[in-house]
Structure 1
Amino acid sequence: MAGRSSTPLFGARLSAGYSQEKLAAKLGVERSTVGRWERGVQSPQPWQRRALAAALQVSLDELDDLLHRTLRPSSLSLQDKPDGTLLVTGPAVSWQPPEDGESSIAPDLDVIHAAIPRLRRALDSLDLPDDGPTRSLADLRLDIVRASDDRLQSRYVDLARRLPSLIPEIARAGQLGDAIGRRQAASLLTLALRAADGVAFKFGYLDLSARLIDLMRSAAQVAEDPLLQATVAYVRTEAFFATGDLDTAARALDLAADQVPTRGALSATAAAALGALHMRAAVVAGRAGKADAASDHLREARRAAHAVSEGVYRGTAFGPSSLRIHELAVAVELRDPRGVQRAADWAPPPELPAERRSHYYIDLARAQLDLGHRQDAYVCLQAARRAAPEHARTHPQVRQSLSALLRTHSAPSSGLLDLAAWARAR
């Protein structure tokens, strides 16, 4: 099946059961007008919004949210494999924050923390989800595309609002389906749980993150998709990072790499899964101070990156640009100034996911601090904030780098003070 692009407004129209033609007729506009709204190149006029919200069965506030997120369109797409499993793929996209200040998209901590008990409850009853409306798997796939993109673009507030109700709906859909439907729902559930983990881990709910990863592993097994299982192994590493158990992290990644199907010519998705595992294993080895092992893993990751285009495979960004970002991470872990310099001579392209670009600048700021380049470190932290404000503001290394800059500046600039206050650094 060919990939289908989507935007939030597009998904809402499908969920409400309208074609573009039928919705246009109901609202008394041209079909092309609806198309422009869905592509984010034009917004409905104020006097059109009440009728549009009624047609889509959403409130005016929810419609405003849909329209806001549609202005940042996703180029992710979905592909159904012949065996019924799901592939989320396509080039990653980015968006620039509005010029009137990033405070409008900084994390609304109250929204996120208020959503955590609802998310826990959804997981408690995952095998016994509450009764409620259950859309088709085709409609739910569109929400998973949106959730995957929100995670990659570090839009955690949006995820926190939607996931506590989306996860039980996917669970209901799995209970209603046949064997193929259950596998498809399990694929969707794995990716939804990964999106939830993106919120839990970033905001310090490490117990919840560990639980989500265990549930991801179970769902991926039900999906019977070895490449999705490789994705779970990639995500699972963060739990070992948090505890400092690098030896177990290395073993888990090596085992997952051995289980990626490699008979015959590798598909792009299989190559990306294998490359991503080696990419992360290189960072683990670098953090453990094992330069030779890190070099070996980077070599395997390069081999895979040469076989694929930069894109998002099973929810993980991989390709030549993603590899370069991880090469920097390894150089920073190993305190390798030549490797840092090679990485610093490059900049991540804007089409990469916002979170990944932000990671690059956060790591580069650490390296610049180690080299004594304080102004360069400050510039990198500003770039990380511009790339993904919600990600940068929650990242502990941002606060650590800013704290170091404050300690070493006898007269910090107003810009540095503002950035430190924004990130809650001391």
Structure 2
Amino acid sequence: MPTHPMREVGRRIAATRQARRMKQADLARAAFVSLATIKAIERGARLPSDDTLDSIAAALNVDPSRLATGSTHTETRIHAALTAISAVIAGYDLPGDPPRQPLEELTQAVGVLVDWRLGAQYARTAKHAPDLLADTLAALHHTVGRDRLRAARLVAATARAADAVAYKCGQRDLSARLVDLIRWAAPRTGDPLVEATAAYVRTETFFAARAHAQGLQALEQAIDASPRPTGPDTAAARGALHMRAAVIAGRAGAPDAATTHLAEARRLGDAVREDVYDGTAFGPDSVRAHEVSVAVSLGRDHLRRALDVAAEWTPPSTLPAERQSGFWIELSRAQLWAGRPDDAFESLKTARLVAPQHTREHPWARETAATLRRLKRADAESLTRFAEWIGAV
């Protein structure tokens, strides 16, 4: 029997609280709700309102989707926020009212938004992105000199966070508009590394259109235009482009190009420490995760490479959640092809544990779950519940 929604939410909140070594009273204080409310929710006697869920999630430092994955608490609210984002960017090039926050406060707020994006916290990102987009655009139009360069950088970073939600939720038209906004803002930063980041993100439009050969061409042009790798930031910018080019070369059916770009990404990745550079995770671990992605992109004939990587390495918890989840989703696909359905299901469950909303919206995760359910080779009840959760049935 499926778990009742109230009991399921309460169980997740309690488990997350305990993992944080918090008492119920600690959570109540941090979330600004009564202790009686926390107790009632955790024992399944009541379902939290949207505002209460947001407060509890913030106190536990997780996305609300980690606690409740029903449409009331995630999909409906995210899509409402995406509508607001669309309205904000409709007149992105038109000066409006001055920003409601000073540039220093905006910088801090955008930094938090970027952290949420990297953590695949889409509900939080979507909730705050519309106002931050409006304010960063206003700052760009109402500042001059160095402040204007800073504001342009904030616009690009905020648009990228909003795009992560739009793209993962299948809103391809809105995603393409946000990518255009990033590309509009990038040259206004006066920083070629932001332009390299814009080229990295633009690849989404080629993935969405299945225009892989054109995407590879665009990335190779961006690599040629990127600054020489003379330090960690420039090495990471170019390395990330090579990493992305390797994946899209695999989708384009160009194994030689994929191998060449992956080798260059590996060389540059080994020269820097794993970190987030201008909003993009890059380093040895990111490149290892992409080795699996490239192998899966090249198809079944290359799945041995994906399995070999996974046999000797798994993503560390310090890697951004979205990247960890992507690794497990792509590994699951390779394991399914290799005739290892039980392992494939375990990988999908790991992906969900790390980044539930990212997993739920990922088309490969949904496709793999549907195939596993048809095969009926894993535990029937838990697999059916997973397939229903991800929308594969």
TM range (shorter): 0.7 to 0.9
> 1:82-121 deviations in whole A, cap 9, x for unaligned?
xxxxxxxxxxxxx9997xx664899611101112221111
Deviates more, 1:375-384 or 1:136-145: 136-145
Q: Which residue of 2 aligns with 1:407?
A: 374
Contact map agreement 1:361 1:381 (CA 8 A) in 2: yes
Contact map agreement 1:107 1:390 (CA 8 A) in 2: no
Q: Which residue of 1 aligns with 2:294?
A: 330
User: How far 1:130 sits from its partner (Å)?
Assistant: 4.8
* CA distance in 1 between partners of 2:351 and 2:82 (Å): 26
> 1:1-35 deviations in whole A, cap 9, x for unaligned?
xxxxxxxxxxxxxxxxxxxxxxxxxxxxxxxxxxx
Q: Which residue of 2 aligns with 1:363?
A: 330
User: How far 1:247 sits from its partner (Å)?
Assistant: 1.2
State how 1:68-107 maps to structure 2 within 5 Å: 68-69=57-58, 71-72=60-61, 103=69
* Equivalent residue in structure 1 for 2:216, among 250, 265, 268: 250
Q: Which residue of 1 aligns with 2:252?
A: 288
Aligned CA distance change for structure 1 residues 311 and 255 (closer, same or farther; 3 Å) = same
Aligned CA distance change for structure 1 residues 333 and 187 (closer, same or farther; 3 Å) = same
Contact map agreement 1:102 1:389 (CA 8 A) in 2: no
Q: Which residue of 2 aligns with 1:227?
A: 193
Aligned CA distance change for structure 1 residues 223 and 63 (closer, same or farther; 3 Å) = farther
* CA distance in 2 between partners of 1:149 and 1:46 (Å): 20
* CA distance in 1 between partners of 2:105 and 2:243 (Å): 33
* CA distance in 1 between partners of 2:274 and 2:344 (Å): 27
Q: Which residue of 2 aligns with 1:276?
A: 240
Aligned CA distance change for structure 1 residues 165 and 254 (closer, same or farther; 3 Å) = same
Q: Which residue of 2 aligns with 1:238?
A: 204
Aligned residues: 352
Aligned CA distance change for structure 1 residues 180 and 44 (closer, same or farther; 3 Å) = farther
Contact map agreement 2:291 2:309 (CA 8 A) in 1: yes
Contact map agreement 2:88 2:134 (CA 8 A) in 1: yes
The TM-score normalised by the length of structure 2 is 0.83
Q: Which residue of 1 aligns with 2:143?
A: 177
- For 1:278, the aligned partner's letter is H
Aligned CA distance change for structure 1 residues 307 and 47 (closer, same or farther; 3 Å) = closer
* Equivalent residue in structure 2 for 1:419, among 383, 386, 390: 386
* CA distance in 2 between partners of 1:295 and 1:203 (Å): 31
> 1:221-269 deviations in whole A, cap 9, x for unaligned?
111111111111111111101111111101111111111111xx61211
Q: Which residue of 1 aligns with 2:363?
A: 396
Q: Which residue of 1 aligns with 2:37?
A: none
User: How far 1:178 sits from its partner (Å)?
Assistant: 1.6
Which secondary structure does the structure 2 equivalent of 1:45 belong to?
A: helix
Q: Which residue of 2 aligns with 1:29?
A: none
State how 1:3-402 maps to structure 2 within 5 Å: 45=29, 65=54, 68-69=57-58, 71-72=60-61, 103=69, 108-128=74-94, 130-131=96-97, 134-262=100-228, 266-334=230-298, 335=300, 336-345=302-311, 346-402=313-369
User: How far 1:396 sits from its partner (Å)?
Assistant: 0.7
Contact map agreement 2:247 2:294 (CA 8 A) in 1: yes
- For 2:252, the aligned partner's letter is A
* Greater RCO, CA 8 A, separation 6+: 1
User: How far 1:289 sits from its partner (Å)?
Assistant: 2.1
Contact map agreement 2:276 2:282 (CA 8 A) in 1: yes
Aligned CA distance change for structure 1 residues 401 and 305 (closer, same or farther; 3 Å) = same
> 1:19-56 deviations in whole A, cap 9, x for unaligned?
xxxxxxxxxxxxxxxxxxxxxxx668389889xxxxxx
Which secondary structure does the structure 2 equivalent of 1:312 belong to?
A: strand
Aligned CA distance change for structure 1 residues 284 and 116 (closer, same or farther; 3 Å) = same
* CA distance in 2 between partners of 1:360 and 1:106 (Å): 29
* CA distance in 2 between partners of 1:66 and 1:223 (Å): 35
> 1:279-333 deviations in whole A, cap 9, x for unaligned?
0111111112222111111111011111111111111111111000000111112
Which secondary structure does the structure 2 equivalent of 1:352 belong to?
A: coil
Aligned CA distance change for structure 1 residues 175 and 251 (closer, same or farther; 3 Å) = same
Aligned CA distance change for structure 1 residues 351 and 410 (closer, same or farther; 3 Å) = closer
Contact map agreement 2:27 2:59 (CA 8 A) in 1: no
* CA distance in 2 between partners of 1:62 and 1:417 (Å): 31
Give the alignment's Cα RMSD to 1 decimal. 2.8
Aligned CA distance change for structure 1 residues 164 and 394 (closer, same or farther; 3 Å) = same
> 1:156-191 deviations in whole A, cap 9, x for unaligned?
111111111111111111222122111110000001
Contact map agreement 2:103 2:151 (CA 8 A) in 1: yes
% of aligned pairs identical? 42
* CA distance in 1 between partners of 2:108 and 2:51 (Å): 17
* CA distance in 2 between partners of 1:114 and 1:321 (Å): 35
Contact map agreement 2:342 2:377 (CA 8 A) in 1: no
Which secondary structure does the structure 1 equivalent of 2:281 belong to?
A: strand
Contact map agreement 1:130 1:168 (CA 8 A) in 2: no
Aligned CA distance change for structure 1 residues 63 and 386 (closer, same or farther; 3 Å) = closer
- For 2:279, the aligned partner's letter is G
